[in-house]
Every structure is written in C-alpha cells, then in structure tokens.
C-alpha cells in the first residue's frame, strides 16, 4: 500500500492506473477511521480494481472556534485498517500541499448549504465543496463513496459534481450504527461514559418521527414536535434542529408527500452529533 503525500504524485498515480485500464474507487475521509469508513472502503473494494482513501483533516471546513486542533488524528491505526482492507493507496497530503501560499479559489453551493449544518457552521460547506472539488480532480476516480450519515454533505456533493462535471460516479452508503442506534462518528470518542449513554436519543427521536409518519401523520410541525419531545427526555442533550425536509432541496416541508428526510443535530456538552433518517411512504395496495 502506497502513501501519497503530494498533489502531483496523486495525479500521476491515477493517470498511470487509468492508462493501464484500472478502475479507481475513492473514499474521502478525515481519518480516525471506524466501521462506518470501513464499510465505504469495502464497497469501493468490491466495485473497483484499485481503492484510494484520502486522509485529510481539512482546515477550511472548521470554524475558528471548532475542534480542528483536537480532531482525532491516528494515522498509524488508520494505515493499518486500510492495509487490512486491501486499500491500494492512502492520499494524506499536508494542509500546505493542498492550500499552498497564494491559494484563492472557493467553491460554494449556497442553496444547499444555507440551512442546518450550514447555519450552525457558516463556512463549513464551502470548505467541503472546495476540498471535494480538489480531491476529485486529483484522484480522477471512477466512483467515489460518501456516507449517508452526513446527508446534507452528500446532497451538496451530488449537486457540485453535477454542476462542475467532476469525474466519476457518486455512491452514498447507508449509515453504520452502534447496536443502540448511535451513528458511528470520529467525534464519538469525545463523549464521556454518561454522554455516550445519552447520545442514542438522537436516533430515537428520528425513529419516533418516522413512526408517526408510518402511522399516518403528514404535518411537518407535528412530526417535528414528536421528535423534539423524545430528544427532551435526555437532560444533558440540547436539540439544535430536528427537521422534516424534502430530500432534494433540504427545505422543511409543511406536509410530507411521498418521501422525506428527517434531519437532526444535538449538542451534548460541547460535542455536536448529527444523524438523519429517510422516510418513504408506501402506497397502500
Ligand atoms: P469523515 O471522516 O467524518 O469526514 O467521514 C468520511 C466519510 O465517511 C463521509 O462520507 C462520511 O459521511 C462517511 N461516514 C462517517 N460516518 C459514517 C457512518 N457511521 N456510516 C457511514 N458512513 C459514514
């Protein structure tokens, strides 16, 4: 397994593989790899001849008061996981390699970035859009995998890739969860034992929202209230948003039609956790 540190070496490696007719699967990450990342890597491994995993804690997607400095970095463990999963190359550039002196460009998708995570983290999505544009341009993948866990990010990347004709197909992998429903996240390591116990309330709130939709409730405000009530059962948890949205525009819906996405973010102490749950209403036969 190769570790690639520079942008030019990454581009050269991909060009060489493409010349040889090898298909490239790509999994972009910020490292501190867990079972969620592993699932994406395995999907890439099954679908493509070669797999590249990028490990880059992208500074431009963190706000000035966020956890960039203390974001978990575990390169040796990540490397071992990648080697075990048969990854062909890790692309782990430095921030200076990705953003050399004189770097000026910003890529943004304002409509999809406006609400939810974009509201809570004002520059987050332009950091994500810019780095994803760079990564896809460098890696030139045939297919790239994203996790559904970050639903708004995946929606935004789809739009970005379509608008800018970025290379390759995109696939979204379902969220991998702990047994109690908590979505795996590199940030879960910040949770104390007590906070860890409270954290699954986010998924329970989303499930309660999905359950009332299945029982026939269609009014967005009512569904939202049900989710808020569940989240409020944990005193240590503050719900930032629990929303019933259109899965394409991510705008809140007054009335659920055929499909909805339930989006949620909670804060436990200083830790923010995200999750979501898609809901499809099946026509009665
Ligand atoms: P991150 O390292 O957190 O930036 O995540 C890298 C990729 O892994 C993103 O596409 C995430 O959506 C995805 N991912 C993170 N956690 C999970 C999970 N629990 N299940 C599935 N995909 C995930």
Ligand 1 pocket, residue 127 CB under 6 Å: no
What residue ranges do the domains of the chain occupy? 2-173, 186-276
* Ligand 1 atom, smallest distance to 27 CA: 7
Cα–ligand 1 centroid distance for 217 (angstroms): 31
Cα–ligand 1 centroid distance for 282 (angstroms): 28
Ligand 1 pocket, residue 150 CB under 6 Å: yes
Cα–ligand 1 centroid distance for 246 (angstroms): 22
Ligand 1 pocket, residue 117 CB under 6 Å: no
Ligand 1 pocket, residue 134 CB under 6 Å: no
* Rounded CA separation 212/83 (Å): 44
pLDDT at residue 12 is higher than 70:
yes
Q: What is the pLDDT of residue 283?
A: 77
Would you place residue 285 in the very low, low, confident or very high pLDDT band (cuts 50, 70, 90)? low
* Ligand 1 atom, smallest distance to 148 CA: 12
Q: Which of 27, 40, 154, 184 to mutate to test the pocket of ligand 1 (most atoms within 8 A of CB)?
A: 40
Taking the domain 2-173, which CATH number applies? 3.40.50.620
Q: Cβ(147)–Cβ(138) under 8 Å?
A: no
Give the residue among 200, 217, 219, 272 at the shortest CA–CA distance from 241.
Answer: 272
pLDDT tens track for 83-94: 999 999 999 999
- The catalytic site residues sit at 37
Q: Cβ(30)–Cβ(121) under 8 Å?
A: no
Ligand 1 pocket, residue 176 CB under 6 Å: yes
Q: What is the pLDDT of residue 82?
A: 98
Mean local confidence (pLDDT), 100-115: 98
8-state DSSP, 2: E
- Can you give the pTM of this predicted structure? 0.97
**CA atoms within 13 Å, Cβ hemisphere of 77:** 10
Q: What is the pLDDT of residue 4?
A: 98
pLDDT tens track for 221-271: 999 999 999 999 999 999 999 999 999 999 999 999 999 999 999 999 999
Mean local confidence (pLDDT), 63-90: 96
Would you place residue 155 in the very low, low, confident or very high pLDDT band (cuts 50, 70, 90)? very high
Pick the residue whose CA is nearest to atom 14 on ligand 1: 147
Taking the domain 186-276, which CATH number applies? 3.30.1300.10
Average pLDDT value over all residues in the chain: 97
Residue whose token pair is 């040889």: 20
């Amino acid at each position: 397994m190769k570790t690639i540190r520079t942008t030019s070496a990454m581009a050269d490696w991909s060009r060489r593989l493409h010349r040889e007719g090898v298909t490239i699967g790509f999994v972009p990450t910020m490292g501190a790899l867990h079972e969620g990342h592993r699932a994406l890597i395995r999907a890439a491994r099954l679908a493509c001849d070669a797999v590249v995993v990028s490990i880059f804690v992208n500074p431009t997607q963190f706000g000035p008061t966020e956890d960039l400095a203390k974001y978990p970095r575990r390169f040796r463990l990540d490397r071992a996981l990648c080697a075990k999963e048969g990854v062909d190359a890790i692309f782990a550039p430095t921030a200076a390699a990705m953003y050399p002196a004189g770097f000026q460009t910003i890529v943004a998708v304002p409509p999809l970035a406006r609400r939810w995570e974009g509201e809570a983290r004002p520059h987050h999505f332009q950091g994500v859009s810019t780095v994803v544009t760079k990564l896809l341009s460098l890696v030139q993948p045939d297919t790239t995998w994203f996790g559904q866990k970050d639903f708004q990010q995946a929606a935004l990347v789809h739009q970005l890739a379509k608008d800018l004709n970025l290379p390759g197909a995109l696939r979204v992998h379902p969220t991998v969860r702990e047994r109690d429903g908590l979505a795996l996240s590199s940030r879960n390591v910040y949770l104390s034992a007590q906070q860890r116990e409270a954290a699954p309330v986010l998924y329970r709130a989303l499930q309660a929202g999905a359950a009332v939709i299945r029982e026939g409730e269609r009014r967005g405000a009512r569904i939202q209230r049900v989710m808020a009530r569940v989240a409020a059962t944990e005193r240590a948890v503050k719900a930032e948003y629990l929303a019933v949205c259109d899965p394409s525009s991510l705008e809140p819906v007054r009335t659920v039609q055929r499909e909805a996405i339930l989006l949620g973010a909670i804060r436990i102490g200083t830790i923010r956790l995200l999750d979501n749950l898609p809901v499809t209403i099946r026509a009665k036969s």
